[in-house]
Structure 1
């Protein structure tokens, strides 16, 4: 189990902006890796009501279960457990109760019974990451519910400095500020429109 504070700035991009940035930073198809996010909540969307999110992420045969909760002040607290492929497959097939040691403890502290969780759906992201000005610049192309979107994230450890760098970056590359909802929120919005 790991627990960490996540501070990130996000902006939606057009496909043309995304392609332009990839050219500027010499990011090719070989730099991208696929990750699959399976999102969960209760029938009554209790996690959403708490401004929290739960996912199982698959990246190159590694399976991470992550609960994101609002942190005091800025950012999100992420609690992550590593799961086995067979356990994840059993959960996705509906044959196994959701269980991840530390994440389940956090869920119970939020008064959410892990047995009440259900899968909302799956989102596939092609991701490339590069170091930039003391942080991590993340290029995401996501596919879900007949939708493609493009997003830029900047992950930092210092909120004030990171915000200034990110805003300067957007200005430098003539990218309008387009706030980005969490991926799970964009996913649910697209599903609800279908």
Structure 2
């Protein structure tokens, strides 16, 4: 189990801005990593009410369960636990919850674990680049007939990170347009489809 505070800044990109950044940073095909996030909540949205999210993330190399708890505007406490593909399959089919440390955190938040259900999945092609002491992330996500693009900056220092990110946006002539978390965008698209 791994527990850490994640400090990140996000901004929406257009397809053109995203493609320009890939060119500028000389991103090659092999640098793009595909990941799929499977999102969970209760039918009453207990996690959403706490500005938190629960997901299973699958990449080519590993599968992890992550609980994100919002602690400040740009800061989340992440509890992450690696699981096997078979365990992930069971959880996705609603057959139990195997990540014990994540389960402890959910219990602490009074989340009824037996009511958790899969709401859907979102796939992202991700590029991560070391940038000024942090990590610059370019994401192209697709879900529910939606396509979107964003840039993130992950850092250890909220004040410095915010300045670096704002300068990055300015230098690349990208208008400030805060991006919601992926789970929030997914849920909005899901609700729009139902509506």
Q: Could you state the TM-score of these two structures normalised by the residue count of structure 2?
A: 0.96
**Structure 1 position 114, deviation (Å):** 1.4
- 1:116 matches 2:115: yes
Structure 1 range deviating more: 55-64 or 179-188: 55-64
Structure 1: where are the runs of 5+ without partners? none
Are the equivalent residues in 1 in contact too, given 2:68–2:76 (CA < 8 A)? Answer: yes
Cross-structure match for 1:47: 47
Match of 1:189? 188
Q: Which residue of 2 aligns with 1:164?
A: 163
Q: In 2, Cα distance between the equivalents of 1:74 and 1:121? A: 25
Question: 8 Å contact 2:12–2:178 — kept in the other structure?
Answer: yes
Question: Structure 1 residue 191: deviation in Å?
Answer: 1.2
120-129 vs 56-65, greater mean Cα deviation: 56-65
Whole-angstrom distance in 1 between the partners of 2:180 and 2:58: 21
Task: Call closer, same or farther: CA 1:106–1:158 in 2, change over 3 Å.
Answer: same
In structure 1, the residue matched to 2:27 is 27
Q: Secondary structure at the match of 1:20?
A: helix
1:146 matched residue in structure 2: 145
How far off is 1:74 after superposition?
5.2
Deviation track 1:126-162 (CA, whole Å, cap 9, x = no partner) reads: 0010000100000100000000000100000000000
Structure 1 residues 105 and 59: CA distance shift in structure 2, 3 A? same
Q: How many residues align?
A: 193
Hey, what does 2:58 align to over in structure 1? 58
Runs (5+) with no aligned partner, structure 2? none
In the alignment, what sits opposite 1:3?
Answer: 3
* Map of 1:128 onto structure 2: 127
More off after superposition, 30-39 vs 68-77: 68-77
Alignment deviations for residues 22-45 of structure 1 (CA, whole Å, 9 cap, x no partner): 100001222101000000000100
Distance of aligned partners of 1:26 and 1:72 in 2 relative to their CA distance in 1, 3 Å threshold: closer
Give the Cα separation in 1 of the matches to 2:155 and 2:72: 17
Shift of 1:72: 5.6
Q: CA deviation at 1:61?
A: 4.0
Question: Who is 1:89 aligned against?
Answer: 89
Q: Which runs of 4+ in 1 moved over 4 A?
A: none
2: distance between equivalents of 1:28 and 1:92? Answer: 33
Indicate the SS of the match to 2:27.
Answer: coil
